[in-house]
Amino acid sequence: MTGAHNRVNAGSGGESEASATITLHVTHNRVTATAMLNMGPAKIAQCVFERRKGSRKGWALVKGTDFNDETSWISPELADLASRVPFPYEVANMLPGKRGTAAAVAQAAQEVGNG
Protein backbone atom coordinates (compact mmCIF):
# COMPACT_ATOMS: atom_id res chain seq x y z
CA MET A 1 0.00 0.00 0.00
CA THR A 2 1.49 3.32 -0.94
CA GLY A 3 0.52 6.88 -0.20
CA ALA A 4 0.65 8.69 3.12
CA HIS A 5 -0.61 11.95 4.57
CA ASN A 6 0.60 12.68 8.09
CA ARG A 7 -0.70 14.59 11.05
CA VAL A 8 -0.44 14.68 14.86
CA ASN A 9 -3.41 14.07 17.14
CA ALA A 10 -3.27 15.67 20.56
CA GLY A 11 -3.10 13.06 23.28
CA SER A 12 -5.82 12.60 25.85
CA GLY A 13 -3.51 13.94 28.52
CA GLY A 14 -3.28 10.63 30.35
CA GLU A 15 -0.52 8.07 30.27
CA SER A 16 -1.23 5.13 28.01
CA GLU A 17 0.62 2.16 26.62
CA ALA A 18 2.56 2.81 23.41
CA SER A 19 0.95 1.23 20.36
CA ALA A 20 0.98 1.00 16.59
CA THR A 21 -2.20 0.57 14.55
CA ILE A 22 -2.86 -0.09 10.87
CA THR A 23 -6.42 0.16 9.58
CA LEU A 24 -8.11 -0.14 6.20
CA HIS A 25 -11.47 1.42 5.44
CA VAL A 26 -12.82 -0.10 2.22
CA THR A 27 -15.80 0.94 0.11
CA HIS A 28 -16.58 0.07 -3.50
CA ASN A 29 -14.93 3.27 -4.76
CA ARG A 30 -12.44 4.27 -2.04
CA VAL A 31 -9.75 2.66 0.11
CA THR A 32 -8.25 4.57 3.04
CA ALA A 33 -5.16 3.10 4.73
CA THR A 34 -4.08 4.57 8.05
CA ALA A 35 -0.94 3.88 10.10
CA MET A 36 -0.84 5.37 13.59
CA LEU A 37 2.07 5.41 16.03
CA ASN A 38 1.07 6.25 19.60
CA MET A 39 4.15 7.08 21.68
CA GLY A 40 3.15 10.40 23.17
CA PRO A 41 1.09 12.44 20.72
CA ALA A 42 -0.33 10.10 18.07
CA LYS A 43 1.41 10.38 14.69
CA ILE A 44 -0.80 9.39 11.78
CA ALA A 45 0.11 8.68 8.15
CA GLN A 46 -2.76 8.08 5.75
CA CYS A 47 -3.26 7.36 2.08
CA VAL A 48 -6.47 7.44 0.08
CA PHE A 49 -7.12 5.63 -3.19
CA GLU A 50 -10.17 6.05 -5.41
CA ARG A 51 -11.41 3.85 -8.21
CA ARG A 52 -10.74 5.49 -11.58
CA LYS A 53 -13.82 6.81 -13.35
CA GLY A 54 -14.99 6.36 -16.91
CA SER A 55 -13.14 3.99 -19.21
CA ARG A 56 -9.94 4.10 -17.13
CA LYS A 57 -9.40 1.02 -14.99
CA GLY A 58 -7.65 0.61 -11.68
CA TRP A 59 -7.13 2.82 -8.66
CA ALA A 60 -5.54 6.25 -8.27
CA LEU A 61 -3.80 7.71 -5.22
CA VAL A 62 -5.74 10.90 -4.45
CA LYS A 63 -4.20 11.86 -1.10
CA GLY A 64 -0.86 11.13 0.56
CA THR A 65 2.52 9.65 -0.40
CA ASP A 66 4.28 6.30 0.03
CA PHE A 67 4.34 5.03 3.63
CA ASN A 68 8.08 4.35 3.18
CA ASP A 69 8.55 8.11 2.70
CA GLU A 70 7.16 8.55 6.22
CA THR A 71 9.79 6.50 8.11
CA SER A 72 10.99 9.49 10.14
CA TRP A 73 7.38 10.27 11.04
CA ILE A 74 5.81 6.91 11.98
CA SER A 75 9.03 4.82 12.33
CA PRO A 76 10.78 2.63 9.77
CA GLU A 77 9.20 -0.51 11.23
CA LEU A 78 5.59 0.70 11.05
CA ALA A 79 6.14 2.28 7.61
CA ASP A 80 7.55 -1.01 6.30
CA LEU A 81 4.65 -3.04 7.70
CA ALA A 82 2.03 -0.59 6.37
CA SER A 83 3.63 -0.69 2.91
CA ARG A 84 3.35 -4.48 2.81
CA VAL A 85 -0.40 -4.64 3.51
CA PRO A 86 -1.96 -6.01 0.31
CA PHE A 87 -4.41 -3.80 -1.56
CA PRO A 88 -7.98 -5.10 -0.92
CA TYR A 89 -9.11 -5.38 -4.57
CA GLU A 90 -11.42 -8.34 -3.95
CA VAL A 91 -13.13 -6.73 -0.96
CA ALA A 92 -13.72 -3.45 -2.81
CA ASN A 93 -15.05 -5.29 -5.87
CA MET A 94 -17.41 -7.36 -3.71
CA LEU A 95 -19.02 -4.28 -2.13
CA PRO A 96 -21.88 -2.64 -4.03
CA GLY A 97 -21.47 0.99 -5.08
CA LYS A 98 -23.54 3.92 -3.78
CA ARG A 99 -26.29 3.14 -6.22
CA GLY A 100 -26.33 -0.54 -5.35
CA THR A 101 -29.71 -2.08 -5.90
CA ALA A 102 -31.35 -4.16 -3.22
CA ALA A 103 -30.48 -7.24 -5.30
CA ALA A 104 -26.79 -6.25 -5.46
CA VAL A 105 -26.67 -5.66 -1.71
CA ALA A 106 -28.37 -9.01 -1.07
CA GLN A 107 -25.93 -10.78 -3.42
CA ALA A 108 -22.93 -9.20 -1.67
CA ALA A 109 -24.30 -10.26 1.72
CA GLN A 110 -24.82 -13.80 0.42
CA GLU A 111 -21.24 -13.95 -0.91
CA VAL A 112 -19.93 -12.83 2.47
CA GLY A 113 -22.09 -15.45 4.20
CA ASN A 114 -20.81 -18.21 1.91
CA GLY A 115 -17.20 -17.27 2.60
- The structural domains of the chain, with segments of one domain joined by +, span 5-88
pLDDT digit string, tens, across residues 10-19: 455 556 789 9
pLDDT classification of 98: cutoffs 50, 70, 90: confident
What is this structure's pTM? 0.72
Instruction: State the pLDDT at residue 10.
Output: 47
pLDDT digit string, tens, across residues 51-80: 998 888 999 999 998 899 999 999 999 999
Strand partners, 30: 50
The dihedrals phi and psi of 37, each to the nearest 5 degrees, come to -110, 120
Residues 88, 24 contacting (CB under 8 angstroms): yes
pLDDT digit string, tens, across residues 36-57: 999 999 999 999 999 998 888 9
Q: Rounded to 5, what percent of the chain is helix, strand, coil?
A: 30, 30, 35
Residues 33, 44 contacting (CB under 8 angstroms): no
DSSP-assigned letters across all residues of 39-60 = SSSEEEEEEEEEEPPTT--SEE
Q: How far apart are CA 93 and CA 87, in angstroms?
A: 12
